[in-house]
Amino acid sequence: MGDRRIPEATVARLPEYLTALVELAASGVATVASEGLAQAMGVTSSQVRKDLSFLGTYGTRGVGYAVEELLHHISGLLGLNREWSAVLVGVGNLGRALASYGGLAQRGFRLAALVDADPAKAGTRVSGVEVEALEELPRIVARERATIAIVTVPAEAAQDVADRLVDAGITSVLNFAPVHLSVPPHVRVRKVDLATELLILAYYENARSRGEPHDAPAGVAEHARPVAGSDAS
C-alpha cells in the first residue's frame, strides 16, 4: 500500500485520523469499525471506508480496522517516523507564539531556525533558539537541511521572503501572511487564515440569532482542520 495517489481531501483528513487513532490506542482499543472512526471524526462511515481504501486499507469484515496497524501506516505517510526541520521567518508575536507552541515538537517538527529581517532581533533568543538575519537564509536552510518554512512576516514582506526561501531550497511553505504567494511549480504553499474559523462560528451565531435550524448537533466540540483548495488569486 505504497504509491497510490491519495486525494487531497483525504490527505487533509489524515491528521485527524491520527488524533482519533492515538486516542483509541491509548484507551486500549485494538480494532475499530468504520462507524466508530466516523463518529470520532464527524464524517460519514462511507467516507471513512473510502478514505482508508485510498490508503490501501480495507479492514476485516465484522471486525473493523486494526488500530495499531492503521496508526503505524498513517504515521508513516505523515512522516512522523522522522524529524522535520522547519525554518520560521518573522519573529513577531505570531512567530514567537509558534516558536513556543509545544504542539509542533510533539508531531516531530523542530523549529531549527528563527529568522528576522530586523537587525535588532538577530542574536536574541526565543524559546532557546537564536534569531538569525534574513541574509543568512541560504546558509541556514542548507545547514539545517530544511525543506519546510513557516512565514509569519507582514503581508508586504511575504513575497520577498518566499522568493528567498525558494532560492534557498525550501519546497513547502506554510504562509500565515494574509497575501497570495507566487512560487514555482515545485513548491507547495499552504495559506492559513486565522479569520476563517471565526467566520464559520459567526455563521452559526447568525443562524442562531435568526432562530434558524443549524446543521450538526450543538454542543459537539468541533475540531477545525484544513482541507486544501487552490488559492483564489
Residues numbered 80 to 99 that lie near a second copy (CB under 8 A) are 80, 82, 84, 86, 92-94, 96-98
Per CB under 8 A, 77 contacts a second copy = yes
By CB under 8 A, what part of segment 105-144 binds a second copy?
Answer: 106-109
Per CB under 8 A, 225 contacts a second copy = yes
Bridge partners of 172?
A: 148, 188
Taking a C-beta distance cutoff of 8 angstroms, is the pair 55, 73 a contact?
Answer: yes
Bridge partners of 129?
A: 126
By CB under 8 A, what part of segment 156-175 binds a second copy?
Answer: 171-172, 174
- The span from the first CA to the last CA of the chain, in angstroms, equals 36
Sort strands 129-133 and 109-116 into parallel, antiparallel or unpaired.
Answer: parallel
Taking a C-beta distance cutoff of 8 angstroms, is the pair 30, 71 a contact?
Answer: no
Q: Shortest distance, CB of residue 154 to a second copy, whole angstroms? A: 9
By CB under 8 A, what part of segment 165-224 binds a second copy?
Answer: 171-172, 174, 178, 180-208, 210, 212-224
Residue of the chain from 39, 45, 57, 159 that contacts a second copy (CB under 8 A): 39
Q: Which is nearer to a second copy, 61 or 195 (CB)?
A: 195
Residue of 70, 73, 89 whose CA lies nearest to 81: 73
Q: Shortest distance, CB of residue 119 to a second copy, whole angstroms? A: 22
C-alpha cell at 67: 488500530
Taking a C-beta distance cutoff of 8 angstroms, is the pair 134, 164 a contact?
Answer: yes
Per CB under 8 A, 227 contacts a second copy = yes
Q: Shortest distance, CB of residue 69 to a second copy, whole angstroms? A: 18
Per CB under 8 A, 31 contacts a second copy = no
Taking a C-beta distance cutoff of 8 angstroms, is the pair 139, 87 a contact?
Answer: no
Between CA 88 and CA 209 the distance in angstroms is: 41
Give, for 150, the enclosing helix (H) or strand (E): strand 148-151
Residue of the chain from 141, 148, 151, 158 that contacts a second copy (CB under 8 A): 148
Q: Which is nearer to a second copy, 62 or 103 (CB)?
A: 103
By CB under 8 A, what part of segment 47-76 binds a second copy?
Answer: none
